Structure 1
Amino acid sequence: MNLKEAAANNPHLSRYVAEFTRKSGKAPVFYASLSKEMGDIEFINIIYPVGDPIFIHVFGAKENRKYHTIEPKLNSVEKIKYKKLLSIILEKAIQEPVPSDDTELRQTIIKLVDKNTSSNTSFLNRGQNKVQINQNEKKKVIYFIDRDIIGNSILEPIMRDPYIEDVHSIGANNIFLIHKVFDLIETDIRFGDETHLSNFLRNMSERIDRPVSEAKPIVDASMPDGSRINIIFSNDISRRGASFTIRKFQDTPSSIIQLIKWGTISTEIAAYLWLCLEYGMSAFVCGETASGKTTALNAAMAFINPASKIFTAEDTAEVKPPHRVWQQLLTRESGPAESRVEMFSLLKAALRSRPDYIIVGEIRGEEGSVAFQAMQTGHSVMATFHASSVKKMIQRFTGNPINVPVTFIDNLNICIILQAAYVKGKFLRKCTAIEELVGYSQEAGGVITRAVFEWNPSTDVHLFRGLNNSYILENKIAEKAGYLDKREIYEEMFLRARILDEMVTRDIVEYDKVLEIISSYYSKGMDGLPFSI
């Protein structure tokens, strides 16, 4: 698709481009997709699609970029017709069968619009209560009804944009985004006033079954698409007005090759993780807020043997293992106290099911002790955890409220540390270290750890400190793999690094394609690769 084709099908886009070009003297350039390198361009002026009829326009100098949404607009007459049709649909929808999903609801809306509109010249057909509307108006009105009933109201363009990570709104007219290409950027979306913002937050919170109010002003929950929303409703608490933050859900996880290309990890780190997860090592992905823990966890799970039985336990559905045998467990935080299900209970239930891997979306409290019990009884566990170093991770796990005995900590095999960092003026997520937990030493008075990978920020290089010195590779994995000479395990690691390097070179980035190659290697070895090494 190019701009000419897109504009031909979307008159509102054509009008927007013409008006912007007239005012600025610079016509936007159309891109069907974006690349990470675009973030380095000093002055940007691009339009990209996020699904008809919505387009996004990003423009401006690097330090002051703007994010404008382009969607159809209703004129004054069309707004009257929209309100009339919306009222009719809300009134008559109760007579229709209850839809089982959004697709059926969308079909019901279209059916009701068709039944209650007419192309006759009179505005309202007498006796029939039908709204007169032409095809172009009908298309726009259906879009807005769909957007406001099924979608996300004025946030719909943002929620459709695959390049948005987080949405931050403070008050009615300050909405900022974390963009995967352009980092922090301001939008043109406005609620207008506190009343409209409050109505939006009330409606959204009721849709997700966590109604917000002055009495219960803070809500943290999942949106219908799986994104995470945190609402702070009361002006007494949020002095600059009601606010919310949305952490967007990715339909398809980022691949391990994507993480390598971003510089988050190296191919050697990925190869090391491949061996660790193939042989059932327990691993925690640790870091502070927005360091990319869940992204890394999802990417790394592709390395777990495809034949494994996976159990996931989460508050919000963010973990997406690609395995056929996957039991997805979620906490239930609403409803009567006796019907609620906490993470602690989910993990206890998972233990009884004998999974190969238990994946915990995020450990926050006493469920951490159950995770270590699982490891002690031979279950492999992966999880994310808020801690900026292995030392702080151990401190938090051995303190309140988790209270894991320090002598149990070495049931965990590796700790992956992530950090959000600015490197040469760019916001990046980096794996700053991977540490192996060797064991508890009474003489040392604590847990002995060994750094196998470290990130050098001055050179932006991940250093492999574990060559011929990795406790996990030599004493855990090599033994399981049956190597007589334990150090041959490094050759296997470097072989897998070359496989990953070849995927990087060939730009094999899509998650499904990366997964297919890894799965084929599991079943056929080197013969299963689509290239030679």
Structure 2
Amino acid sequence: MSIQIKNKKFQELISKYRYLREYVERFVSTGYSVPAFYEKLEDSLKFVKKPNVLYPISEQVFIHVYAMQESADGYTIYGVIEPPEPHPLLMQAINKIFAIHAGSISPPNEYQEKFLILDEFLANTCVKVNGSVDYSKAMLKNNKVLVNAEEFEYLKYHFIRRRIGLSLLEPFLTDPYLEDITIMGNGNVYVVHKLFGPLKSSVWLSNDDVEELMINMAEQVGKTISHARPVVDATLPEGSRINIVFGKDISRRGTNATVRRFASVPLSITQIVASNTLDAREAAYLWMMINEGMSIFICGETASGKTTTLMASCAFINPTWKVVSIEDTPEITLPHANWTSEVTRDTGNPQSSVTMFDLLKAALRQRPNYILVGEIRGAEGNIAFQAMQTGHPVISTFHAATVASLIQRLTNEPINVPKTHIDNLNIALFQSAVQGKQGKLVRRVLSINEIIGYNPATDSIMFIPVFNWDPGEDIALYRGKGSSALFATKLLVRRGLSKKDESLLYDELEMRASIIKHWISNKIFNYHDVYNNIVKVKEMGLQAYMERMGVKYEIVK
């Protein structure tokens, strides 16, 4: 079948990889048009209602996202195109030889070492030929195997993927555009795409496939999963977070797992502002508050982007401060030289396990300038407030949708913070995934609130919403000069300023917002580039930095 392809790079790949050409030909023969090929996906694609897009995620693996002509469940398809499985007799012969060979190898620690060992093993074991090979007679003397040259590439891909990769999940974990991967027992794998939203993959797994895959994955990350210990939380080698629930006795559809993807380089504050999650003035406000050591809770529901906002905002922490982060599974990444990352340990034995509570107590003895907590959900919350009381500011994520629900959770079991102590928390930021104007889910900061204190007359917590999101206009509304109690009660005192100097703080807010807009207009988006510029602002001072960089000072009343 002849197909018309205009994109030159796509033509080259179709010619190079027979399995890709055959896939596209089969797809077109069912009545679809040729997929649009992108070497790198564009943000504008998130507004396409019926995509038909193909893109590479590695040299040999491609992803095809397309809307079906008729769909019973309404899902758009996430198709994985990878080299076909090598002949089973060939794989059997290679595995047999490798089992003998592996006994003489010292176990390597690094992924690259493992890859080189397997690559060298295949190169030394396989004798490539151009013609067809009868794999029932392919075994040669001296543990050599005849392999068709084209099939050698398929063999190499699958052999290495099974030995040091994550088997069937490898393509999903290679795709930089995926946020979540869900395996729900017997059935298709589902994903959440950064541009196309929820998708159903073409990969179908049986319960046996899932159980074998989960046991292997748990072993790779040094965890044991069984019917005795059926729930595992872990971090995969490439940084993703995985939660596994094992066995049909507690999961009716069988073993299931959810993988939360995290970029190796965190999103920067400029990327978040550019995506309209929050605006430049809100980011500038966080910059000022974090510079002064305010305690902040970033609140919202699951997958609202809390951890992303936390990491982006933490670039504002003074570069010379000591920072301690405490997490169940390591997600937080900071550029600070004096940063200590601590992770809980669950051994199943209370004597040897280390909890968030334990680590927070230990952190108070380390004299940190800032304590970051991946998520507060239990008794460790009480210790976090004790840390705030003793002058150790805390930034954490928290599951709550409103200030009222935040207070309810903090003041009740298991956290039990007295209402009179709530004002040790300075700021509560609320974030959510909402439906945008184009019908796609987008993340927005709904409000940034300053916690004022406890009012005994009404038995309530007083707070000021300095910023609110307007869903109709999709903009952040700012209450204007004089709206921040923290400027008046905290920042003026810390800087040794009088009440008449309060307007200078609001001018500074606008100056910092102008700097952030300048970075965005100059496409300074890389996390480390943004951090380096934040450090320059600290070293040079606002005025000198703005003059040096030609930043236009905009005051918005």
Deviation at 1:476, TM superposition (A): 1.2
1:65 aligns with 2:76: yes
Aligned-pair distance for 1:21? 3.3
Q: More displaced, 428-437 or 480-489?
A: 480-489
* Residue of 113, 121, 131 corresponding to 2:122: 113
**1:33 equivalent in structure 2:** 40
Report if the CA contact (8 A) 1:479-1:486 is conserved: no
Residue matched to 2:51: 44
> Aligned to 1:308, what secondary structure does the other structure show?
coil
Which residue number corresponds to residue 532 of structure 1?
551
- Alignment partner, residue 490 of structure 2: 476
Name the SS for the 1:20 alignment partner.
helix
The aligned counterpart of 1:195 is 208
2:448 to 429, 434, 437: 434
Secondary structure in structure 2 of the residue aligned to 1:43: coil
Which of 134, 137, 150 is residue 164 of structure 2 equivalent to?
Answer: 150
State the superposition RMSD in angstroms: 2.2
CA 1:449–1:73 in 2, change beyond 3 Å: closer, same or farther? same
Given that 1:2 and 1:31 are in contact with CA atoms closer than 8 Å, whether structure 2 keeps it comes out as no
User: Which residue identity lines up with residue 354 of structure 1 in the other structure?
Assistant: R
Provide the aligned length of Structure 1 versus Structure 2. 530
* 1:195–1:502 CA distance, 2 compared to 1 (3 A): same
TM-score (norm 1): 0.93
Distance in 1 of aligned mates of 2:14 and 2:337: 42
Greater Cα shift, 54-63 or 154-163: 54-63
For 1:385 and 1:433, the matched residues in 2 are separated by 15
The answer to whether the aligner puts 1:301 opposite 2:295 as a matched pair is no
Q: What's the counterpart of residue 74 of structure 1? A: 85
* Contact preservation (8 Å) 2:50, 2:66: yes
Q: Check conservation: 2:93, 2:139, Cα contact below 8 A.
A: no
- Range moving further from structure 2, 421-430 or 126-135: 126-135
Instruction: Tell me the CA shift for residue 284 of structure 1.
Output: 0.8
State whether structure 2 residue 131 is matched by structure 1 residue 129.
no
TM-score by length of 2: 0.90
Q: Which range moves more in the overlay, 2-11 or 319-328? A: 2-11
The verdict on how the C-alpha distance between 1:447 and 1:144 changes in structure 2, with shifts beyond 3 A counting, is: same
The aligned counterpart of 1:284 is 297
Q: Does 1:232 align with 2:241?
A: no
Once the two structures are overlaid, the 10-residue window that deviates more, 112-121 or 470-479, is 112-121
AA of the residue aligned to 2:512? R
Aligned to 1:255: 268
Match of 2:187 among 168, 173, 194: 173
Contact 1:36-1:180 at 8 Å conserved across structures: no
Compared with structure 1, are the counterparts of its residues 9 and 489 closer, same or farther at alpha carbon in structure 2 (3 Å cutoff)?
A: farther
Partner of 2:4: none
**Aligned residue in 1 for 2:3:** none
CA shift for structure 1 position 480: 2.1
Q: Contact between 2:266 and 2:527, CA under 8 Å: does it hold in 1?
A: yes
What SS is found at the alignment partner of 2:454?
Answer: strand
Deviation at 1:458, TM superposition (A): 2.1
Contact 2:230 2:247 in 1 (8 A): yes
For residue 422 of structure 1, what is the aligned residue in structure 2? 435
How far the C-alpha of 1:8 sits from its partner, in A, is: 5.0
Deviation sequence 1:447-469 (CA, Å, 0-9, x none): 32111111122222211125312
Contact 1:89 1:109 (8 Å CA) reproduced: no
Point out the more displaced range, 271-280 or 128-137.
128-137
SS in 2 for 1:322: coil
Counterpart of 1:165 in structure 2: which amino acid?
E
Distance 2:99 2:447 in 1: 55
Of residues 490, 501, 504, the one that matches 2:506 is 490
**Greater alpha carbon shift after TM alignment, 103-112 vs 234-243:** 234-243
Equivalents in 1 of 2:520, 2:55: separation in Å? 26
Could you tell me how far 1:10 is from its partner in structure 2?
A: 4.0
CA distance in 1, matches of 2:98, 2:349: 33
Between the aligned partners of 2:534 and 2:100, the Cα distance in structure 1 is: 53
8 A contact 2:197–2:441 mirrored in 1: yes
Gaps of 5+ in 1: none
Change in CA separation of 1:495 and 1:124 when aligned onto 2, cut-off 3 Å: same
Partners of 1:7 and 1:13 within 8 A in 2: yes
Range with bigger deviation, 379-388 or 19-28: 19-28
Structure 2: 5+ residue stretches without partners: 1-7, 553-557
C-alpha distance in structure 1 between counterparts of 2:264 and 2:403, whole Å: 31
Partner residue, 1:4 = 11
Q: Could you tell me how far apart the structure 2 residues matched to 1:52 and 1:40 are?
A: 28
| Structure 1 residue corresponding to 2:196, chosen from 164, 179, 182 | 182
Instruction: Pick the aligned partner of 1:454 from 468, 481, 494.
Output: 468
Change (3 A) 1:410 1:202: same
Aligned 8 A contact 1:287 1:388 in 2: yes
Moved more, 505-514 or 104-113: 505-514
Cα displacement (A) at 1:413: 0.8
Q: Can you list the C-alpha shifts for 1:492-532, whole angstroms capped at 9, x where unaligned? A: 00111111122333333232332232222122234446443
Question: What do residues 276-322 of structure 1 show as CA deviations (whole Å, max 9, x unaligned)?
Answer: 11111111101111111101101111111222211111111111112
